[in-house]
Structure 1
Amino acid sequence: MTESVLVAYGSTNGSTARIAEAVAAALRKEGLTADTAPAGTVTDVTPYDGVVLGGGLYAGRWHKDARRFARRHRRSLAERPLWLFSSGPLDTSAAERDVPPVPGVRRTGDRLDARGHVTFGGCLEEGAKGRVARMILRGGRGGDFRDFAAVERWAAGVARELSGDRRAR
């Protein structure tokens, strides 16, 4: 039986969505079935054997759609393996060291017994929505700090853990 994984995400300008797509692609490469969906559109997680939930970080908080997804599906999420990711640092910090989850994401992970969390670098480029995003760009602090090789390595670890669960049953 092939494990089926949902990769849900909260993203305003598409950067986190692109990371979610890369996670799903890496899971597929490892032999799993993986679907991606904006967190706000998911109505049911029960068809999936595992879930990866990601959200962009904005002013130290996870994207509202990721937060709402975690609350709305908390019972189902507590019954299956769950991994979390954040995206957002607009610098090289996520590539240089492990960036711990912000407090709200840490609490979500603790409540739902998430198996892991990782923070990936973010991306903010010209044309981004939002007043704060435009201010950051005007201040010269934008750019693309995503490390897709790191995303693939992390997702491969998720796949190995899920596959190990299947063998242990």
Structure 2
Amino acid sequence: MTRTALVAYGTKNGSTAEIADHIATVLRGIGLDADVRPAAEVSDVGPYDVVVLGGALYMGRWHRDARRFARRHCRALADRPVWLFSSGPLDPSASERDIPPVPGARRAEQRLGAEGHVTFGGRLEAGARGRIARAILKQGRGGDFRDFDRIAAWATGIAAGLAAEAERR
């Protein structure tokens, strides 16, 4: 039986949505059915066996839609595996070392009993919305710091964990 995965995300300028799409593509390539949806638009997690929830980082905070998703679906997610990711550092630090979750993501990790959390680099490029984003770009600190090979390896690890769990049953 094919397992179904939901990859939900909270994003402001689209970078986290692109990471979510990449995760879903990897999961599909390994044999899972995967849907990608903005976290704010998910009303029911019942159809999914596995959930991956991601949130962009802004000023040390996990995206509001990801935080709300975790609170809203806490009970329903208690009986299925959940993984979390953050995206946001605008430097190569996320590819160089493990970055612990910010408080909002850490609370969601604890509340949901998540299998794990990872932080990926972010992207901030011309045309980004928000006063702070424009100020960062004006200072020359924008760019794309996402490591799609690392993202794919993490998603592959999720599938491997699910396969190992299925064998134990």
TM-score range for the pair, normalised by the shorter chain length = over 0.9
- The 5-angstrom pairing of residues 5-154 of structure 1 reads 5-154=5-154
CA shift, 1:78, in A, is: 1.4
Give the match for residue 164 of structure 1: 164
Distance across 2 between alignment mates of 1:31 and 1:112: 25
CA RMSD of aligned residues (A): 0.7
Distance across 2 between alignment mates of 1:67 and 1:107: 9
Q: Structure 1 runs of 4+ off > 3 angstroms? A: none
CA shift, 1:136, in A, is: 0.6
Unaligned runs of 5+ in 2: none
The residue type paired with residue 101 of structure 2 is P
CA shift, 1:81, in A, is: 0.3
Deviations 1:66-89 (A, max 9, x none): 011111111111111000000000
Q: Report the 3-state secondary structure (helix = DSSP H, G, I; strand = E; otherwise coil) of the residue aligned with 1:54.
A: strand
Bigger shift: residues 47-56 or 156-165: 156-165
Distance across 1 between alignment mates of 2:54 and 2:125: 20
Whether contact under 8 Å (1:3, 1:162) holds in the other structure is: no
Distance across 1 between alignment mates of 2:23 and 2:163: 16
Whether contact under 8 Å (1:77, 1:112) holds in the other structure is: yes
CA shift, 1:31, in A, is: 1.1
Q: Percent identity?
A: 65
CA shift, 1:55, in A, is: 0.4
CA shift, 1:51, in A, is: 0.1
Q: Report the 3-state secondary structure (helix = DSSP H, G, I; strand = E; otherwise coil) of the residue aligned with 1:35.
A: strand
CA shift, 1:104, in A, is: 1.8
CA shift, 1:103, in A, is: 1.8
Distance across 2 between alignment mates of 1:110 and 1:88: 21
Unaligned runs of 5+ in 1: none
CA shift, 1:167, in A, is: 2.2
